[in-house]
Structure 1
Amino acid sequence: MTTAPTPNTPPHPAYPAATASPAGSPAASPAPSPAAVGRRLSVVADQTPDSPTPAGCNSSSPRTDVPGEASRARKTAAAKAGADIRGEVLLTLAQLRLATPRQLKALLLPHQQGTDHVRRALRNLLDESPALVGRTHRAQQSYWYCTPAGLAEAAASGELASTAGRTTGKRIAASKTGLREHGLALVDTVVAFHQSEVADHADWRVEVAHPTAAGTLVPDGVVLLADGASAFVEIDRTMSYARLVAKLERYDAYRNAPASGRGNAARAPRSHWQETYAGPSLERPFPPVLFVFAPAPRRAAPTTREAAFHERARRVGSVNYRLTVATTTLPLLTHDGADAPVWRVVGNGHGEERRALAALPKAR
């Protein structure tokens, strides 16, 4: 019979585990290092239900919510969008001669919140060699225009009408005499027509010469309307009333110019305006002449100038008969839209009533 050891007797060296743990217990693991604890916690944090790890990815993969990643993605998208619309930006500048980024955005990307895409497209065109666009700065605003290389590129696309006599817009953009503001007022008018879906911005021609016996007629703009008809557009900021009436008389001369050419058995000779605007069967009347009065420093308010013009314009012979002339102000046009009743017809019997563009009387 073996006698049990006394409590103070140390265990036998041959049985070191006898007092460490019961025989059936597993061996204890060594204590983890602080670094291992940190790694294990980070893995657990990555796999919590609030931020599950996507299938096929491990916790050491770069996370997509790292600050800066989202903004980098947005910048990449903006750069791509800018590259996608650079052709449209170039064509628009070639047509209208100059514009601001805000105006280009209104025409090309009306649903975008800012002008980032347009500005990237402009910088893209500016970085070409040679540069396809140029810019000037005035009063913290940038004004963009086509360079000669840009005009050549736009013409080569086949998307533009003849570029004969087309200018780059550089002189207008740099002007300090009001020429730049006149050009920008025309672009604001284009935007108003475009937003009202009365005419697409691509269907405008700027300063196209028309021959008359009284000299060349150069409208500020000619627009092809959505219904297939055309209209002449004149912008006034600072022109004297005498010069405005003289220009209206030039339209009268153009309207009444005799037919030219020989014609043939199937078709009588036609005048220039009939060849250009009346349609193949002469079904369309002479295009209306639309005057838009824009604000200008040290000038009477647009509504005042509009009323004074009416008093003088109704004395021109063909007005209210062979010429349809209507007026509006740029603030009213941009606020209400080109399709709204913003047009006041010049002539006796019309008063101060304003009509929609579609409701203007037709020239006889």
Structure 2
Amino acid sequence: MSPDARIAVDAMGGDEGLAVMLAGVAHARRRFDGMRFFLVGDEERIRAGLANHPNLTAASEIVHAPDVVASDAKPSQALRRAKTTSMGVAIDLVKQGRAAAAVSSGNTGALMAMAKLSLRTMPGIDRPALAAMLPSLGETDTVMLDLGANTECDAKNLVQFAVMGAAWARTTLDLASPRVALLNIGTEDMKGTDIIREAAALLRAADHLPLTFAGFIEGDRISRGHVDVVVCDGFSGNIALKTAEGTARFVADLLKRAFSSSIRSKVGFLISKPATQLLRDHLDPNNHNGAVFLGLNGLVVKSHGGATEVGVAHAIGVAAKMVRDDLTRRITDDLAHFERQAAA
């Protein structure tokens, strides 16, 4: 990442407010030395908050934005106020080329609408997709997309998602030929909708791409680490993601209840504390925070609205790594290669 590159942070977005956002930026600054930021939002409040984070003062520039996108605002409402909201101004900094990426914990629908309208989709992409890294039992995390940006997709959209997800896996996970699978209700060739089967046929034929098509995968296998990229429409992906997050919380709460049920259980907890802490860290969404809008002419990262300081820092780290890896150019190159081969 260039020393001059800056990350634009929507300091006012998110459920936890300005204090957590600034703490997260300060945490990222400590973890990734040399990072610089635009802090976008109410200038007076941000300046007052920086008094608690002296390490950020020299590394940050405040960009005033008087308005905030409400968590329940409709995308159409947010678009009309894009030029005055912290979210809209952060994205505009990317459009202007002043910021290398934008990070927001605000309203997902509004962020998607603003980013798409302002940055536009890159050549060869019909629709951008929301992608994230999910924890797995494999040696690396698993890329999954789309997670809610597009509730309905055709076969061409799914193929484009596969190309973008594989490019992200190659750069972030350092994989030469990521294993890509389509989420389906079974692994047999005849299973699923016509759209999914058509997408599978296109991916099987695209053996010139830097990815390995692994066929279909069922929902219960996503976290096993058998594939590196899972592709689906946004409706299915969002349900799968929320189910996985709910299951993780269920397991954590169940363990907590079990270990507090008796004196013997409490002793057992003390003995197994290192293992349970490892499990908790692995399931903690803050340690995997940072979903990415792939397919835009600019980098935008969505942080979870309820993210902690650690979660915000992780999302900023995701943005910084994408900038370092020049992800937009890599996706553009892969798509251009795919279109040339398809035409031939």
- What TM-score, normalized to structure 1? 0.26
- What TM-score, normalized to structure 2? 0.28
Give the greater-gyration-radius structure (CA). Answer: 1
- Specify which structure has the higher proportion of helix: 2
